[in-house]
Chain A
Amino acid sequence: MADVGRYVIKRCLLTIPTLFGITLVTFVVLQLAPGGPAEIRLQAALSGQREARVTEEIIEQTRRLYGLDRPIHERYLRWVARIVRLDFGESYKDHRPVIEKVWEALKVTLVLNVIAIVASYVLSIPWGVYSSRIAGSLVDQVVTVALFILYSLPSFWVATMMILFLGGGEFLDVFPTYGFRSYGSEAWPLARQLWDLSSHIFLPVVCLTYGSLALLSRYARVAMLEVVGQDYIRTARAKGLGEGSVIFKHAFRNALIPLITLFANVFPALIGGSVIVETIFSIPGMGKLGFDSVLARDYPVIMAVATISAVLTLVGILVSDLLYMVVDPRVSFEGQSR
């Protein structure tokens, strides 16, 4: 198992150039864009004053204050040098440390996404196993079509529809549709807090879940059907094994493999999807933080959000590779370099 450690280290080292690339692209995009934070900030600050004019001089001063007057490569290298020490700087908007803002947001996003991932795997795998046994039946066909429709529904549409019909207004009022928890809920007893939290995140989690649920169910079904048709399953049946043993010991494990590869796809897709869902439900997670900081030209926060999303994506890929090894003992990660 020492190989695993070495493999993980090797993989982590290999992600470093990728991370560099991602941060470099984001950095360059931000720096080349017109309308820098200096201008935006000054406009905001001066908009209340009469006869306020943004002079070249003031802009220049502000740029110097934020270090924006340096050449781009120098700024990037400085940024990297700070990131290595996990110093993401201060937000331009409220001067709080970026790492603090991001950590708060990340906790929220991780709660949502972990629930969404667990829910979609927990619901889709049993359905995959079951539907492979009733393949071709009416129920199977109806559910397959329903899942197809579910998968094609745009999440921002579903979110708005749910707010419209379930979130008060003229129709049903079942769920709160704003934020992560009720105002002042910190003082409530734990059970009530939990209830408050779950009613707040129910709709967003549904929005994040249904797409991957539909995708995974479909793959689980196909994978099970494929495995059940293999020779070794016939052999297992022929030697008189019980059906349960055949399905769960022989078929299920092999069917899991493609589902686990999908983890590498589902995880980043969820993080990306969070931008829309969190913005719609006003949930203070990474997606909303990213969106708000783009609007405010809050460079340090944008950079931090992009970097951390990229790290999470790379971690997702790594985790799915490791899970791969767990379900498929034939895969070994010994250093057989090419």
Chain B
Amino acid sequence: MKRATGGFAREVARRFREDALAMCGLCLVLGLFGVAALADLLANDRPLVAKYGGEIWFPAFSNAPEIRDVDFAAGPLRPGDWVLWPPVPYGPTTYDLARRLEPPTRDHLLGTDDRGRDVLSRLIHGSRVSLSVGFVAVGVAAVAGVAAGAAAGYWAGTVDMVISRAIEIMICFPTFFLILTVLAFLPPSIFWIMLVIGLTGWPGIARLVRGEFLKLKEVDYVVAARATGARSSSVMLKHMLPNAMAPVLVSATFGVAGAILTESALSFLGFGVPPPTPSWGDTLSQSRNYIEFAWWLTLFPGAAIFLTVTAYSLVGEGLRDAIDPRSAPRKWSVVFDPSSLPRPVVRGTDEALASRRSGAPGARP
């Protein structure tokens, strides 16, 4: 009885596969991972493979002195030489001031920005920022949230009171404003962005885990484990945590979407990753200076953000429905997962309301 999660996981995976929309979302997410991982192969101002001076080189990945200063794009090659360019033959920071703010053309499929950099190349490389911010921020939030929630649910009493108050305070906080304030005062860096977004994301997860732990504490196998004298840490980590992880996983998936959205909003306002690192929000914010005509600077990065966020929320929804098939189809929780936001805390009448609320789509079963 220790871990029956193998069967549960398989069951969830089966239900998830039956959900066409969720699978679409998953494919998109995997595709984005591919793009981020292969960004250097997809968009680079150096050829992938080149035959130069009778030898085969990999200029995109090598800094060998013989080819370091060779401009492969410059002129006709010597006989016998050849080059293989990536699909987008521009680096994310390759600029060409003579060709700034060009609308999409055959050369620059998505146009160029105000320094003549290729928008497509910047979007491809910008996916790395979005994905890493999404995952690291949610990782931070999940670790902090699970730790706080588990402690509150397991030890109850004073610990619970302190943590619950902290959760309540964080939830009533104007979060985006807090993130903005903190980042405005810190040196610009992607690590601060990840950390700050993560540290404002823990209360939702903490609340979920606390609820699960409160329930699990009364379950027979946990009581039995404690009765046999198992240490608290072992009961929590081995027996309770694996059974409390399913809702955390769902919440984390929505969290990734939210973190990506927050990061791009921050970049849009000028508090994102420092230049010249390409990010979607940064390209979008450039468009504000050329808002009269530069539609390609607005349309494409925004579409990239939109598609990514939608993909994650589709996966999140699919997971939620797969984990709890009885749950009413309460869909879309991208920007704010209602379950992570304050339910009105009606003190003293919680029980009276519980029956109503459990039927409401806004309530977690």
Chain A residues with CB under 8 A of B338: 262, 265
Chain B residues with CB under 8 A of A236: none
Considering the chains assembled together, what is the distance between the CA atoms of A10 and B345 in angstroms? 12
Say whether A157 contacts B284, CB under 8 Å: yes
With an 8 Å Cβ cutoff, the count of chain B residues facing the other chain is: 65
Say whether B177 contacts A275, CB under 8 Å: yes
Chain A residues with CB under 8 A of B343: 261, 264
Chain B residues with CB under 8 A of A330: 352, 356
Say whether B362 contacts A219, CB under 8 Å: yes
Say whether A170 contacts B185, CB under 8 Å: no
Say whether A331 contacts B352, CB under 8 Å: yes
Query: Counting CB contacts under 8 A, is A199 at the interface?
Result: no
Chain B residues with CB under 8 A of A161: 298-299, 302
Chain A residues with CB under 8 A of B361: 219, 222-223, 226, 258
Say whether B352 contacts A291, CB under 8 Å: no
Say whether B177 contacts A305, CB under 8 Å: yes
Considering the chains assembled together, what is the distance between the CA atoms of A126 and B77 in angstroms? 69
Say whether B182 contacts A222, CB under 8 Å: no
Stretch of B6-14, B117-125, B213-221, B305-313 at the chain-chain interface: B305-313
Interface positions of B from 146 to 195, Cβ below 8 Å from A = 165-166, 168-169, 172-178, 180-182, 184-186
- From the candidates B178, B295, B302, B328, name the one contacting A226 in the complex (CB within 8 A): B328
Chain A residues with CB under 8 A of B347: 10-11, 14, 337-338
Query: Counting CB contacts under 8 A, is A257 at the interface?
Result: yes
Q: Given that A25-B169, A148-B331, A218-B332 are known contacts, is A272 also in contact with B344, CB under 8 Å in the complex?
A: no
- Report which A residues bind B (CB closer than 8 A): 10-11, 14, 17-18, 21-22, 25-26, 29-30, 33-35, 148-149, 151-154, 156-157, 160-161, 163-165, 167-171, 211, 214-215, 218-219, 222-223, 226, 257-258, 261-262, 264-265, 268-269, 271-272, 275-276, 279-280, 290-291, 294-295, 297, 302, 305-306, 309-310, 313-314, 317-318, 320-321, 324, 328, 330-333, 335-338
Say whether B172 contacts A22, CB under 8 Å: yes
Interface positions of B from 305 to 337, Cβ below 8 Å from A = 305-306, 309-310, 313, 328-332, 334-336
Say whether B177 contacts A309, CB under 8 Å: yes
- From the candidates A152, A258, A320, A335, name the one contacting B306 in the complex (CB within 8 A): A152
Question: Which 10 A/B pairs are nearest by Cβ-Cβ distance?
Answer: A169-B292, A33-B185, A157-B302, A21-B169, A258-B360, A309-B174, A321-B344, A152-B310, A170-B293, A337-B348
Which label, helix, strand, loop or mixed, suits the secondary structure of the A interface? helix
| A/B interface sample: 11 pairs, CB < 8 A | A10-B347, A18-B165, A33-B182, A34-B186, A157-B298, A218-B332, A222-B361, A261-B360, A309-B177, A328-B356, A330-B352
How far in angstroms is the closest Cβ of chain B from A211?
A: 7
Query: Counting CB contacts under 8 A, is B349 at the interface?
Result: yes
Say whether B185 contacts A151, CB under 8 Å: no
Chain A residues with CB under 8 A of B165: 17-18, 21
- From the candidates B174, B293, B299, B313, name the one contacting A306 in the complex (CB within 8 A): B174
